[in-house]
Amino acid sequence: TTPRPPAGAMSAYSLAATVAALVGGAAALKLLLSRFKKKPFQGPPPTTLVVYGGAQLPPDPDCSPACIKLMAFLRLAKVDYKYVPYGEHQGAGIPKGKIPYAWGEALGVAGAVGDSQLIIEALQARGAGKGLDDWLTPEQAATGTALRVMLEESVYWGILAVRWLGGGFWPITV
């Protein structure tokens, strides 16, 4: 009769099978994870303005107030653009570490531009939106700038608290 291994000990076959499963599993996991790696950033065709935003949470066109601000300007200024939600770009190529960012010849710069206000200013420097604010007096323009800065820097955090701490949006985002 063949001697039996002590209780709890692995046979050579079961040890080999376990090692093979671990190696095979590690290889399969590596292959699976390679499919989810961030793809290298590839810019759009040079004549297209592409806006890279956040997640779309209906009814809003984007979850980020800064993205909504930029898209509103682009529509008012009649600038053609392509919108890419976060799920498609996964943050590849973000120049300042935040959304929105834009890429394209219409900006007049090489590479991507981050921050909604910088994008708007780059477009305005190239003539986009000309005439939108021409009717404002200097006092009205200053009041508008003060109101914009107050909303962006102060009210923004209240919006985030309602969105993320309230129960309504939580099931959508998790």
pLDDT band at 18 (very low <50, low <70, confident <90, very high): low
**pLDDT for 99:** 87
What's the chain's Rg over C-alpha atoms?
A: 26
Using one digit for the tens of pLDDT, what is the confidence trace for 91-105? 777 887 888 999 888
pLDDT at 139 over 80: yes
pLDDT at 168 over 90: no
pTM score over 0.75: no
pLDDT at 14 over 60: no
Q: Between the ranges 16-20, 28-32, 41-45, 86-90, where is the mean pLDDT highest?
A: 86-90
**pLDDT for 156:** 77
| Cα–Cα distance, 171 to 145 (Å, whole number) | 36
pLDDT at 138 over 60: yes
**Pick from 135, 99, 92: nearest CA to 114:** 99
CB burial of residue 104 (10 Å; 0-12, 13-18, 19+): buried
Average pLDDT on 147-157 reads 85
| Cα–Cα distance, 84 to 74 (Å, whole number) | 14
pLDDT band at 146 (very low <50, low <70, confident <90, very high): very high
Name the more confident of 82 and 169: 82
